[in-house]
Every structure is written in C-alpha cells, then in structure tokens.
A and B are shown apart, each in its own frame.
Chain A
Amino acid sequence: MSRILQSLQGYVPSLLRPISQKPASRVSTSITQVRGKKKSSRGGKDPRIQLIHYSLYHPLTPRPLKFSYLRHLRHWTIHRAWQLYKANMRRERELELERMYNSIRDSCEKLKTIGDGGRLYRIAISKQGLGQWGGIGTRIPTEAPGRNGGWDYTYKNQ
C-alpha cells in the first residue's frame, strides 16, 4: 500500500492541472507499463479517487515558518506573555481555593471552642447521608443563555 502511495506522490488530476503543465505526450513505449500501473492504482478515471489523492497530496504545501529577527522577537514576547498570563491565572485559582479551604478549617476550629463538648463540630464533619449530588437543576455554563431567558422564575412551593 505504501509503495503505491509513494509512486503516486505528486500526481495531479489532468483536469485540475494548468494546461502549460500537461505533458506533451503520454505515449512512450519504454514507460508504458509503469504509467499503466500508476493509472490503474490511481483508479484510472474515477473522479472520487482522484479527489482523495488531490486533497491528501495538494500541490501547495504550507511553507515552513521562517521569521526575521524582529518577527521572531515578537513571537517570543507573545509566547512569554501568554505563559506568564496562564501561570498567573493558575496561581490565582490555587490561592482562591486555598483561601476557601482555610475559611472552612478556621470555622471548624471555632466550632470546637463554643463549649458544647464538640457536638456541633462532630455533626459538621460527619459525612453521614452525604455523597449524592443534590444540584440536579444546575445548568452547565454555555456560551449563550438558554431559550427560557436565563432563569426559571416559575418554580413554586418547595
């Protein structure tokens, strides 16, 4: 399979090739067999297979990026700025979570000191009955709000 593909590299269907690039003559006794082999494995005049080959082996390929000194400097600056930005975002998120956790911990420590023998504290840290997610109506954030206009105000009587 790979040998056939290699032999087909650079092939452009005749319809799409500019006229100037068409070969003068297709008939040549010395290479008839080779040409014939190529045609049959390309599917002959089957346009679907020709299209697939054209898409995969397009004559125009992306040029490798070659930056001048200043262009490269701009690119490097943007890259560094983005890395910094992402690092700051991550750090902010970590710190916020840490603050929330510390707030929970400090509240539990305070609960221990209220003088009821730690009863409310033990109830607070108890995991009995928990484990099911109760937020079944929670809407996952989307790019735009839903058809109902953003919020359901019609809910009545809990």
Chain B
Amino acid sequence: MASLRSARPSFLRPLLNPTAASARTFTTSAETASTTASISSETQNAPTKPIDIYHVPRQPYHLSTGIVLSRPPLVTRDLPAFEQAYYVYQRRLDQRLALPFTSAFYFKKKTVAEEEYKAKKKVREQKPWFYNPYDRHNGFKDEIPAGQLSKQGLWFGAGAPELGYQELVETTPSGEEKIMEESQSALGVAAGKTAPERPYPRETEADRTGDFTKLDRKLSRTLYLLVKGEDEGFAGGKRGWRFPTARLQGDESLRQAAERILPEACGTNMNTWFVGNVPIGHHQYDYPSPVAPDPKLPHEKEDPVPILGRQVFYMKARILAGQVDLANSKHGFKDFAWVTKEELRKVVGREYYISNMNMLASR
C-alpha cells in the first residue's frame, strides 16, 4: 500500500484526506514548498486514518470449508434393458455374417479338449437361446420377439451378469475343469471339491441389509459422505444431514482447512486424497439472527459488524480405504452415512440440495 501511495502524483494526495481538503485550496508547485509546512502541522493536529480506496470491507459472513468425500464406483455401470436388447440383436446379426466355426482347426481329434468341446456343444445346442445361422430352414429367424429376452435366457435383469457367467461356464470349453482336477490331485484334495472360480456378485450384503454406513453398498454408484450434527447456525436453524463443514481458522487456505477438518471430525482411519485446491461448490445462508463479531479475529475486530450467516466452500476428496470413525470427533458429529445422489436429495432439504446438486456426479 505504501508503494502505491508514493506512485500517486502529489496534487491528488490532498483530495483523499477529507479533513484536510476542506481547509486547503489548490496550489502550484512553486507554492508547495511554502504550504507543506502548514499542511504537516494541520495533519499533526487532526490525526485521522486516511480512507484507503483499495480496501474492500470483509463480508459479514463466517467462512467455512465443507468436504465432499466421495467413493467412486467400484464396478461398471448397470446396463439398461434397451442396451442389453440391442447388444443381443447385434450379436445375432454378427453370427449371421461370420464364417462357421471350424472346431477341427482348434481342437485336435481324440484329445481331452475335443471331448470337452463336444460335450459342451451338446449342452449349448439345447439352450433356449441357441441360434444356428446356417440352419437351412430357420437361419433367418434371428430376431427375438419383444418381451422374450428373459424367457430365452438372454437377459437376467440389470446388474446380474454372474448368472450369464454360469451359462458361459456350461457352454464354453476353457479347460478350467481339467486344470482344477489336475491341481486338486497334485495338492491331494479330493476331486470335485471346488468348482471353477466365478465372479463375486455385484449386489453385496450391504445392499440387501440397506446399511448406509457401509462402503460396499451400491458398488456401481458414487457414494458421498453425510454427517449429522448439532452445528450452531445450520441452515435456518435446522439440524440434519450435511457434508462435514467447519469454520476456517487463522490464515489457512480452503484446502488446508479441509485437510485439518476431515481427520478431526471423521477420524484418522481413512486413506483420502484431496483433489486440487479449487472449491467445487459454494453455499451461503443466513443465521436465524445475526451473531456478534468475535474480537479475537483480526478482520472481525477491524470491522465490528454483526455476522449475518455463513459462506461455505466445498472441497473435493476421495476415500481410497478405511472407514469413518466418529469416536473422538471434535466437531460434534453424531452419525454418518454414505449415500448416492438420489438418496442425498431425499435426506437433505430442498434448498441445500439445489446448492449442491451441480457439483455431484450422477453416477
């Protein structure tokens, strides 16, 4: 600020000093030498702080950081019915346009692999979804009538490919059973004890029980952390489910505040990563009644104006492992939940959701 003042031409400086300006007239540079003495004496007699035109008064709101802690999806998205039907349609057309499978080229005669292939081929030909494009009489019937997909065993509902995997194991030669047999005999385990490894189901125990504190619920969706606490001055005086929020302390930045608040409030048993320095959303709301300024804070002491409400800036973070632990929470949060965007909409109020919805991912 001092350097800026010295850059201003001297004849402008008197204008910015309101008490001195009224008593002074414009003087030429020749006369400044004679008047400087009188000017300095006047300023000493009436000491006032000059108004700094570059000073913007601090907004009368408490500054807070909120943390949007997300668990990104762990499995691929659920395919809608239309997409699944389209893929079946395209697969049938592709079968019509491909050369027939020459098994003799891939499976040598009188081998174990060929036997497995022949056995599985028999199973495949009995399946309701089996289609032979080279059948002279029925090769043209590649379409499946509407609503018949699940009856033909081609659609198992959204998000259940493990049932399709079962059919795949029954009809596709892979040599896995033989490998399992050999490994079992080598290890001394009785034959037939273990089946070929299958993928784990996409719907977990947490989905069935509907436990909102679990992180392996809704694996194909993003989950966001919400906490419930009795924070003074929550929107409209209501206490409810919110993103973990707390006020800034000292001269820390938004990211520093977020990195401090998260372990304080939600425990240290989480491996998290804060994405960048930029806030992804903001929310301003008023307290039910204005709050007195705190003299301990320098900017509130300087401008002792009653604080009208709160400005929250949200920082984005991801959880990589671990779980929330509210045992020694310093911010008084009592409960937590991991929710999808739709569930969040139901739980928080309309106004809060509208301020937040644009920064959240829908999947």
Contacts and interface: CB of A to CB of B under 8 A. Distances in A.
Contact of A108 (B162, B200, B279): B279
Interface of B: 56-59, 61, 63, 72-76, 82-83, 86, 89, 93, 96-100, 102, 104-105, 133-134, 139, 143, 161-162, 199-202, 204, 206, 214-216, 219-220, 253-255, 263, 268-274, 276-282, 284, 299, 311, 313-314, 318, 320-323, 358-359, 361-362
A158 B75 contact: no
Nearest to B207: A150
A73 to B, nearest CB: 12
Contacts of A100: 280, 358-359, 361
Contact of A145 (B216, B277, B358): B216
The 4 closest A-B pairs by CB, nearest first: A150-B216, A137-B320, A144-B199, A155-B322
A69 interface: no
B88 to A, nearest CB: 11
A62 interface: yes
Contact of A58 (B93, B102, B269, B284): B102
A58 B98 CA distance: 11
Nearest to A136: B320
A69 B331 CA distance: 70
B361 A143 contact: no
Query: Which secondary structure characterizes the binding site on chain A?
Result: loop
Given A116-B58, A157-B268, A103 B253 contact: no
A110 B282 contact: yes
Interface string A138-158: 110111111101111111111
Interface residues of A, number: 62
Contacts of B278: 104, 107-108, 124-125
A72 B272 CA distance: 54
A123 interface: yes
Interface of A: 51-52, 54-55, 58, 60-63, 65, 71, 74, 78, 81-82, 85, 96, 99-100, 102-104, 106-108, 110-111, 113-117, 120, 123-127, 130, 134-139, 141-147, 149-158
A156 B99 contact: no
Contacts of B59: 113-115
Contacts of A123: 253-255, 277
A117 B100 CA distance: 74
Nearest to A54: B102
A158 B269 contact: yes
A138 B180 CA distance: 32
Contacts of A146: 200
Contacts of B318: 135, 138
A82 B88 CA distance: 13
